[in-house]
Structure 1
Amino acid sequence: MNRPLLIALLATLALPMAACSGGKGRVAGDLAASKVTTIGVNSYLWRASLDTLSFMPMAQTDSNGGVIVTDWYVNPAVPTERTKVTVTILDQDLRADALRVAQIRQVNQGGQWVEAPVTAATVQKLEDIILTRARDLRRGAITG
């Protein structure tokens, strides 16, 4: 690897670490800023979304575009039903309207997976869980 490329790579890796180092002159509020600096979307919403959906297999994650798409998940307690979730983070700010969750649900009828309705309350509950987790992460950064 040539030296300029190595230096550029190390600088890129050092940037996120420097943001978390809490160096001299840093104010606690800087660590918990509502805007993101190292990925394309709000880091608290991103981390909270990944944490919340960690029990599901991931099909696609794009931190710059702010999209998380899970693969089909079958709850062992209900093997005739499966669900897929897409989370889109729309902004760099930690705000409720910066998060969009969509869910697809299917039920198995005679060996065929058939689309089934998803209640709005289910999607709203998932959004609430992600937002609460993101706020907790931000609070932890302020007090930590």
Structure 2
Amino acid sequence: MGGCLLALTLAACESDLGTDSTFPTSRRGEVYQTGNVPTDTIFGEGGLFGSSKSLQDDAGGGGGLGVNAYLWRASLDTLSFMPLSSADPFGGVIITDWYTSPDSPNERFKVTVYILDRRLRADGLRVTAFKQNLDVNNQWIPVTLSPSVTTDVENAILARARELRVAREGE
């Protein structure tokens, strides 16, 4: 019974399969060349991910990123010695896992970077850092870091972002 119903449904639709009445006849068979590509898409000028030219310029060529591409790349470069726990390029959050230096095995660090803007600006970046020391009972105890530590990390990221931007503009 189900097979007969399916066959009847397909037979009823068969007459419509050969024609496409919704597509404009003036565009049938038209070959698009450079400069002749239609810009009217269902997702608008920027496409599905909103990557219009103006947004790419603001984001430093970010293409599909939701944040500034220079700050994103610079953050990853600066923290590359630490293991990553999470990286969200659309939300602009990078979270490292705990890092212990081989030189000081009794302390470890963790960093979270928030990229807050699509523009390359100093106030578009916020870093939080955490430190823990190992006590005599092998328990990790939180230690308060100086605010200069997060400022130093932010400055290192911003300096790297400027280097990346200058290198790209020099291409």
TM class by smaller structure:
0.7 to 0.9
Could you tell me which of 117, 122, 125 is aligned with 1:91? 117
Give SS of 2:91's match: coil
Distance 1:139 1:34 in 2: 15
Give SS of 1:132's match: helix
* Pairing of 1:18-97 with structure 2 (within 5 A): 33-35=57-59, 36-97=62-123
- Cα deviation, residue 33, structure 1: 3.3
- State the percentage of identical aligned residues: 47
Aligned to 1:113: 140
Deviates more, 1:77-86 or 1:32-41: 32-41
Structure 1 or 2, whichever has the larger Rg, is: 2
RMSD over aligned Cα, in angstroms?
2.1
**Which runs of 5 or more structure 2 residues have no equivalent in the other structure?**
1-46
- Cα deviation, residue 38, structure 1: 1.9
The total of aligned residue pairs comes to: 119
Aligned to 2:13: none
Higher relative contact order, structure no. (Cα contacts within 8 Å, ≥ 6 residues apart):
1
Aligned to 2:153: 126
Letter in 2 for 1:80: N
- Cα deviation, residue 34, structure 1: 3.9
Give SS of 1:121's match: helix
TM-score, normalised to structure 2's length?
0.65
TM-score, normalised to structure 1's length?
0.77
Structure having the higher helix fraction is 1
Structure having the higher strand fraction is 1
Aligned to 1:3: none
CA deviations over 1:38-62 (Å, ceiling 9, x no partner): 2100000000000000000000000
CA deviations over 1:8-46 (Å, ceiling 9, x no partner): xxx98xxx9xx8xxxxxxxxxx8x934244210000000
**Which runs of 5 or more structure 1 residues have no equivalent in the other structure?**
1-10, 20-29
Distance 1:86 1:112 in 2: 22
